[in-house]
A and B are shown apart, each in its own frame.
Chain A
């Protein structure tokens, strides 16, 4: 049986290089979506928001926001195609972005 959980992930761009990053359980920022915290209920979402605001003030990241995602068998997949492309890289250049450097997580190219 596969396990599924729906929730929200906090993302941003790292300030110095613009790389797409996700807020992790330990409060750090990772390039890997699989290391992201999936907030399942409002309190957890609020905690992500608070931590992201701190990181913005500390000039670590910029442009943060939450997106909907699903955890399937321990792997996190963005629900909307926009966020999937953002976690992978351009669907027209599989040699670039996270899908190329091994940080894309388990879910492979955007279909279509």
Chain B
């Protein structure tokens, strides 16, 4: 289970006390808004459409039951009884008062949490697979290496003034659930023929207004060279990155402008100048960090799972949920439970305080006290015994948490959009709700197969629309909301940016447009072929023709 090390705990305590003082000075007028704004942003407090919003960090999306319960308490005591889990694997509260914020930060610090947002042009955060340490296909838990990178970078003076902010994503599995190809640097673990593990290093991905897929600069980097190689990349970026133009300063633009080959050559030349031995990853340091992600003591379960099998036989609803929402665990007899925060017609990612407590209880009793937040705005119980799955489901089902749509059409990602976000150009949530209602039949969703519909309320792309199989971007056309549809995006190991299909749609037209696209897919798919594969085989043409012929 992840916990802060001693350095962090002290730092958080100091920052909380500082913020209390700063907020008081702001309220008394000693500090102006211009002076205070950067301070509150650093502490995760934003001014949004209706009120202040507090964004709480959840490193690696990993939470204990106690922490989840504290999040519930905060929602009830200082907000309006709910919270919103976001695509950044954190939680946002939408109705926070400035005068309460210091108390909330203290409540977070009490359970070793904080709302500190790394800001400025430094290495921001390291995100990873929400199934890390649990997935059957994983070669190794990537989080200790992620944490090593975070600690290395946050202490490194050379990387405090980069041309622009910088984000890492890391996965220890061949199947990419951490969207590593749309980060500044993505790392993916591989095993070579000799059985050794090494990192594939990808650079220059990103979403936002200029979406790009990262290019691979090294196929297989030995782990002990990782930090030295990262330094070489950061040095090349520091040297060549565009500091003159905010919109061209991300490393993706540099990689794009230099070309992948030239960029790689620059990195390799830089790397050759600095012998790797100087900054070899120290095994002892990695081992120290790994302790913070201690592996649970799994029981040696028998291969037979009679309770689970009987429940599936007797209860069709449970069987469907088990089929869609459970994922293979690396320990026999265990499973990964994916709790969908996408009930039919619901608000993607929202959970009530009561639901948070239910999930915390389940984690405590059935998942070694551990929960995860996924970037698809769902909650994961990473280590559940298969024989407990039915009991877990029953409890989830009683609290509207057992929607069996994980990874299907109804599992829609949507940013807060114009209902909450001050930057939005259109609403996202009502579009998600309308689609979710139109396709409420989960059997029909299963027929469509794995599908990612991602919705953003503006070009900042917090709803990851560029990498949705179907992406929806809300825009403002002369004061009216309208929606652009893209097809063919993906954030997995075969990442791609979706292409715009054609003219946009009014809000009420979007669900029918989605139906039209799916009908085309069903008509043209080969047996067993998933939506993305059909789209890649055929391209946009048939979808375009069908969609715009009828509208």
Contact = CB atoms under 8 A, between A and B. Distances in A.
Interface stretch (A2-10, A41-49, A69-77, A78-86): A78-86
B481 A90 contact: no
Interface in B77-123: 80, 95-99
A18 B424 CA distance: 18
A91 B33 contact: no
A112 B95 CA distance: 24
Contact of A82 (B28, B33, B418): B418
A59 B27 contact: yes
Contacts of B26: 15, 59
Interface in B290-349: 347
Contact of B424 (A16, A17, A82): A82
B395 to A, nearest CB: 25
Nearest to B420: A90
A15 to B, nearest CB: 7
Contacts of A91: 419, 427, 430
B41 interface: no
B433 interface: yes
B418 A81 contact: yes
B33 A62 contact: yes
Given A56-B33, A62-B33, A81-B479, A92 B419 contact: yes
A92 B429 contact: yes
A92 B433 contact: yes
B418 A16 contact: no
Given A59-B29, A62-B33, A112-B508, A85 B99 contact: no
B435 to A, nearest CB: 14
A85 B99 CA distance: 24
A33 interface: no
Interface stretch (B48-56, B372-380, B486-494): B48-56
Contacts of B47: 13, 18, 62-63
B430 A92 contact: yes
A16 B50 contact: no
B507 interface: yes
A95 B491 CA distance: 36
Interface string A51-65: 000001011001100
Among B50, B97, B420, B427, chain A packs the most CB atoms within 10 A around the CB of: B50
A63 B46 CA distance: 12
B50 A20 contact: yes
Nearest to B96: A18
Nearest to A68: B479
A89, A91, A112, most chain B CB atoms within 10 A: A112
A63 B32 CA distance: 12
Contacts of A58: 29
B492 to A, nearest CB: 29
A59 B26 CA distance: 8
A19 B430 CA distance: 23
Interface residues of B, number: 30
Contact of B97 (A17, A80, A90, A112): A17
Nearest to B480: A81
Interface string B444-468: 0000000000000000000000000
Report whether over half of chain A's contact residues are helix, strand or loop; otherwise say mixed: loop
Given A19-B51, A56-B33, A86-B49, A92 B99 contact: no
A86 B50 contact: yes
A72 B480 CA distance: 21
A96 interface: yes
A107 B421 CA distance: 21
Contact of A112 (B29, B99, B420, B507): B507
A98 B99 CA distance: 20
Contacts of A56: 33
Interface in B507-551: 507-508
Nearest to A96: B80
Given A18-B98, A91-B427, A13 B51 contact: yes
Given A16-B97, A58-B29, A89 B50 contact: yes
Contacts of B418: 81-82, 85
B99 A17 contact: yes
Nearest to A80: B479
B33 A97 contact: no
Interface in B416-441: 418-420, 424, 427, 429-430, 433
Contacts of B50: 18, 20, 86, 89-90, 97
Contacts of B433: 92
B430 A112 contact: yes
Given A17-B51, A62-B47, A82-B424, A90 B419 contact: yes
16 contacts: A15-B26, A16-B97, A16-B98, A17-B52, A18-B50, A18-B52, A59-B29, A62-B47, A79-B479, A81-B418, A85-B49, A85-B419, A90-B420, A91-B430, A92-B427, A112-B481
Given A62-B33, A89-B50, 18 more contacts: A13-B52, A15-B26, A15-B98, A17-B51, A17-B97, A17-B98, A18-B96, A59-B28, A59-B29, A62-B47, A81-B479, A82-B49, A85-B418, A85-B427, A90-B429, A96-B80, A112-B427, A112-B430
Interface of A: 13, 15-20, 56, 58-59, 62-63, 79-82, 85-86, 89-93, 96-97, 112
Nearest 6 Cβ contacts at the A-B interface: A18-B51, A18-B52, A90-B419, A59-B29, A17-B97, A92-B429
Interface of B: 26-29, 33, 47, 49-52, 80, 95-99, 347, 418-420, 424, 427, 429-430, 433, 479-481, 507-508
